[in-house]
Amino acid sequence: MTSSPKFHHCDQLIKFYNCFIIRDGQLVKEDFWIKSGKIINPEPIFYDEKSKPDVVIDCKHNIIAPGYIDLQINGGYGFDFSNDNVDIEKAIDSVARGIVASGVTSFCPTLITQSPESYKKIIPFIHRRPGSLENGASILGLHLEGPFINRKKRGAHPEHLVRDNIMKSFNELVDVYGTLEDVAIITLAPELDGGSIIKEIVSHNIIVSMGHSVATLNQGYVAISNGANFITHLFNAMLPFHHRDPGLVGLLAHSYPNSSKVPVYYGIIADGIHTHDAALRIAYQTNPDGLVCVTDAISALGLEPGKKHKLGEQFIEICDSKAFIAGTETLCGSIATMSQCVRNLNAVTNCGIVKAVECASLHPAQVLGITEFKGTLNFGSDADFIILDNQLNVLATFIGGQKVWIADHFPIKAAQLS
């Protein structure tokens, strides 16, 4: 090993050895190479360039996995993305830097239902951007959860701001949000689509997710046929499963003749609180390839319990590792990290390390259609990866080949990764 590896030099050729790599659905023991922020194929280096690595790192038989991608996170560390009275750029920076400790290398900042005035104060200040040591996790675009949702399943969304009238034009969305330039996902209730709104949204390269809804299974079918491909926090804020009409939950068991290889993706909050263990097992066993771990984390993520915190226009409070609308028993988001959700998913479903990790990396990348550069350890992909022990605890996080976080107890000395 070299005496003083320097990870901030992006042009260095770096070799990780004594590691197990998650690649192509398997856990394989082989070396892992990166250069210039990308994962590279070492064969041409040996046979064509005849080059040697600038830095070699002994991983001590730990696991290298793709970085986690969180498609639904409302804030954290005291900051709420839906609060138009805070410094939104500071809020984004704080969360982006904080979540790397839980293995998240990319995320979609999420806004709950707001007024048009608030949207126009917040949305223009959140942009897609790459991750780095300075920026923290990459921003993949906004997730706008509401306001076009069903009032009956609004959850923590302010009732007076919900718009549960039938949508008639794409311009209606633009009028409410102001701009959709940096928007990646819109959650809406599919029963509100009065014609071809979902088709129009998808035509603008925005993912449509179905949620906060009382949609029937048939209404879900129509939404899928129009281009929707995601379900927001399955089981939460939707009709419960019924044997005569299973609602949106029934989409998990549906196959599509024209795209039989494409599953219906569904977000699930695997924190052990929002979804019962039995329901989590049923969902995974029904459609393992569609499960996407999301945290749905709120401003209280990373903060001490026993205090009130702001979520949009409402106050929330923390009790027994749960977040409630203040003075009620209504859950309003999670305070679990992605790392906790992945470990819990594995423990509850017994799906195994590879499958658990893919639910927080490969699957969310598939939802967004970005698997060419995120969500895998394939050659040519961005060098966004994490080092895990065999209990799925995060030991270190890398973005674009840069070390952005390392655990104090990691067996590789921190000085070697500086």
CA distance 99 to 107: 9
Instruction: Please check whether residue 417 is in contact with residue 149, taking contact to mean a CB–CB distance below 8 angstroms.
Output: no
In whole angstroms, what separates CA 307 from the centre of its chain?
Answer: 26
Q: Is 296 a catalytic residue?
A: yes
Do both 33 and 173 map to the same domain?
no
Do both 56 and 97 map to the same domain?
no
Three-state DSSP class for residue 342: helix
CA distance 359 to 293: 6
pLDDT exceeds 50 at position 410: yes
Higher pLDDT, residue 110 or 242? 110
Q: State the binding site for Zn(2+).
A: 145, 212, 233
CA distance 123 to 179: 7
Q: State the binding site.
A: 145, 156, 212, 233, 236-237, 244, 274, 331-333
Q: State the binding site for substrate.
A: 156, 236-237, 244, 274, 331-333
Q: What integer pLDDT is reported at residue 311 of this predicted model?
A: 65
Whether 1 maps to a domain, the answer reads no
Whether 256 maps to a domain, the answer reads yes
Do both 364 and 384 map to the same domain?
no
Q: Is the pTM of this model over 0.85?
A: yes
10 Å Cβ neighbour count for 131?
27
Do both 72 and 149 map to the same domain?
yes
pLDDT tens, position by position, 165-205: 999 899 999 999 999 999 999 999 999 998 889 999 999 99
CA distance 142 to 154: 20
10 Å Cβ neighbour count for 142?
26
The residue written with tokens 């090993």 in the block is: 1
Query: Phi-psi region for residue 71, left (φ > 0), alpha (ψ -120 to 50) or beta?
Result: alpha
Which residues constitute the domain of residue 182?
68-368
pLDDT tens, position by position, 141-169: 999 999 999 999 998 899 999 999 999 89
Do both 24 and 42 map to the same domain?
yes
Instruction: Kindly calculate the radius of gyration of the chain based on its CA atoms and give it in whole angstroms.
Output: 21
The residue written with tokens 């969360």 in the block is: 95
Q: What phi, psi does 212 have (nearest 5°)?
A: 45, 60
Choice among 80, 296, 382, 384 that is catalytic: 296
Whether 282 maps to a domain, the answer reads yes
